[in-house]
Amino acid sequence: MSRLGPALRALIQRVDFARIYIDSRMHGEINQGILALIGIEKPDNVEQADALVQKILSYRIFSDADGKMNLSLKNIGGGLMLVSQFTLAADTNKGLRPSFSSAMPPDEAAQLFQYTVDAATKDYPQVVSGVFAADMKIELLNNGPVTFLLEN
């Protein structure tokens, strides 16, 4: 995927519930809300993280009384689950194997992911997150299905 400048990525899904399991134990869960898979690349920074968090919290993907997508996560008071997703940084344009050369190095990416979680938690009370670089299992019920790729 070709982009102009840095753009932190989030694949967001409207869910009825989502649960994270690590080592066969439930690590966190939300009911109705957004599961956001976060992909971090080399040029990404805290300014993009701040903007992405605000976009996720305010993105209108929930139905109003007329069935139109006019309500945000903040409007419905739903849960937000943030999960680091290394594979969103993949370049899939050539061949049959993804390249991860554009991914931010793990130590830096862990810091930026934690910053993103902290920024979300500061602005919104119902946030849970996965563990960076952990082998996680995620159970979810995608509502719709409604899924969007946000870049900021």
Contacting residues for 43 by C-beta, under 8 A, at least 6 apart: 5, 6
User: Is 62 in the active site?
Assistant: no
Q: Give the CA angle between residues 102, 104, 109 to the nearest 5°.
A: 155
Q: Which of 128, 143, 126, 137 is nearest to 16 (CA)?
A: 143
Q: Which of 86, 111, 114, 147 is the catalytic position?
A: 86
Q: Which of 13, 48, 62, 85 is the catalytic position?
A: 85
At which residue do the structure tokens 């810091």 appear?
111
What is the rounded (10 degree) CA torsion for 69, 72, 76, 79?
Answer: 120
User: Is 87 in the active site?
Assistant: yes
Cis, peptide link before residue 145, omega less than 30° from 0: yes
| Other CB atoms within 10 A of residue 135 CB | 8
Q: Which of 10, 59, 14, 12 is nearest to 39 (CA)?
A: 10
User: Is 92 in the active site?
Assistant: no
Which active-site residues does the annotation give? Answer: 85-87
